[in-house]
Structure 1
Amino acid sequence: MVRLIRIIIILAVIGFIAWLVTSKWSLKTTVESKHQLLVDRVEAMGKLELVKYRISDVLEHKNKTPFLPDASVLLIIKADAVGCIDLTKIKSEHIQVYGDSAVVQLPQPEICYIKIDHKASRVYDTKMAFFREADLVDEAYKSAEQQIYNEVRKSDILQQTRSNALHVLAPILKGLGYNKVTLTFEQKIFEKH
């Protein structure tokens, strides 16, 4: 019985030492980040976002070189394009009130931003990229961003923004007591060069 107790004590000590060794010298990766955040600028925002387009792009991007096999990457890209009206451009001369009627001249709609959603986008496949993979993916994202920008500019996003502005702002003004509400958009002046 004494022998069994000695064996249990020895096994317990060996187990404890093994646990200490493995916990101290294990291959656990620890992450350490130090941040020093600074607010560079505070800006007043007055852009009313009225429409958001969610865009998907499937892009195959290739790099062709004379001495190496063609490297390619296939990306599935998600992006957002937002149309808005900058309410800070409305001045007092753009608003006219006649009894229970209001006439408001709104600024032209604009594209607030177009941005790729990197969390929803995926690198689907790479071929023959080897050591060039990071550069290839970066080039592909830049190409996609430019193509998405061009397509959004050609789309009806500004017309949709204009339409949504009328549907959103008219009920607000009517809720303020104006029975007749007229919303117009300022005219664009085009110069010939």
Structure 2
Amino acid sequence: MRTIRLILKLLPWLIVILLALWIYLTFKTAQQTETVINRSAVLQKIESLGKLELVRYNFKEITEVTELSKEYFRIFKLGPDSRIALISEGQAVGCIDLTKIKEDDITMKNDTLYVRLPPAEICYYKLDMENTRIYSLQTNPLKDEKAFIQKAYRYAERDIKESALSSGILEQTRNNAELILKPFLEQTSGKVVVLTDKVPETMLDLK
């Protein structure tokens, strides 16, 4: 009889404990599901941006190319050396290819979203042919003048790329990601966003 009374006395507490446990497990499962959905949604938003152009550098260069004519017996040459000077204008664009980001690059810790970015790169570089002109030209009549001029244009285009790299276009691209991409991701996820180049191993990766 006492046993029955004891069970009846403890029964409400058992019900309360079981109910609390059920609510906790349900909330935890729902929270984990929500986190996965948010990560997936953020990834889709990021991928939809494709190659995000973040900086554009404009250049004006002088490119000089000399092609020596063959010398015979150190005495004479068959024609003069070929020389050209180009005054060129062009541009280089720095970007981050967001299609390279995978779900493993998105990490949650507490209320902070960590996104590991791929390296900054030069999307493209090109000459502005309308504003690029030949300043001076001397060619060997025995050589292909058109081929020599085309070579000079290729060198001028290469100079655009090298000037962009030496001017810090990759560093500026990464810095601009903080100014442009970070606010977008914070608005999308509703969380504080930290852009990283490498996610610390101690962080919890929720899946």
After TM superposition, the score normalised by the length of structure 2 is 0.59
Distance 2:56 2:127 in 1: 13
> As a proportion of its length, which structure holds more helix?
2
Unmatched runs of 5 consecutive residues or more in structure 1: 1-43, 188-193
Choose which of 111, 132, 138 in structure 2 pairs with 1:127: 138
Q: CA RMSD in A?
A: 2.6
Shift in alpha-carbon separation, 1:45–1:68, aligned structure 2, 3 A: farther
2: CA distance, partners of 1:107 / 1:158: 12
Counterpart of 1:59 in structure 2 is: 63
Q: 1:113 is matched with which residue: 120, 124, 142? A: 124
Native 8 Å contact 1:102 1:178 kept in 2: no
Letter in 2 for 1:70: D
> Conserved in 2, the CA contact under 8 Å of 1:79 and 1:114?
yes
Sequence identity (%): 39
CA contact under 8 A between 1:107 and 1:186: conserved in structure 2? Answer: no
Does the alignment pair 1:183 with 2:187? no
2:162 matched to 1:158? no
Identify the structure with bigger relative contact order (alpha carbons < 8 Å, sequence gap 6+).
Answer: 2
**Is residue 129–residue 136 contact of structure 1 (8 Å, CA) maintained in 2?**
no
Residues 43-76 of structure 1 show CA distances to partners (whole Å, capped at 9, x for unaligned) of x982111111112211222333222123322211
Q: Distance in 2 between matches of 1:137 and 1:96?
A: 52
TM-score, normalization: structure 1? 0.63
Which is higher, the Rg of structure 1 or of structure 2? 2
1:158 is displaced (CA, Å) by: 0.9
Distance 1:177 1:94 in 2: 15
Aligned counterpart, 1:25 = none
Matches for 1:1-193 after TM superposition, within 5 Å: 46-65=50-69, 66-97=77-108, 100-128=111-139, 132-176=144-188, 178-186=190-198
Kept in 1: contact 2:91–2:160 (CA 8 A): no
**1:139-188 C-alpha deviation (Å, 9 max, x unpaired):** 2112223333333333311110100001001211232363522111238x
Counterpart CA distance in 1 for 2:160 and 2:188 is 40
Superposition deviation, residue 78 in structure 1: 1.6
Equivalent position amino acid for 1:183 in 2: L
List per-residue Cα deviations over 1:69-125 (Å, max 9, x = no partner): 233222111222111111111112222345753221111111212222222211223
Q: Secondary structure at the match of 2:137?
A: strand
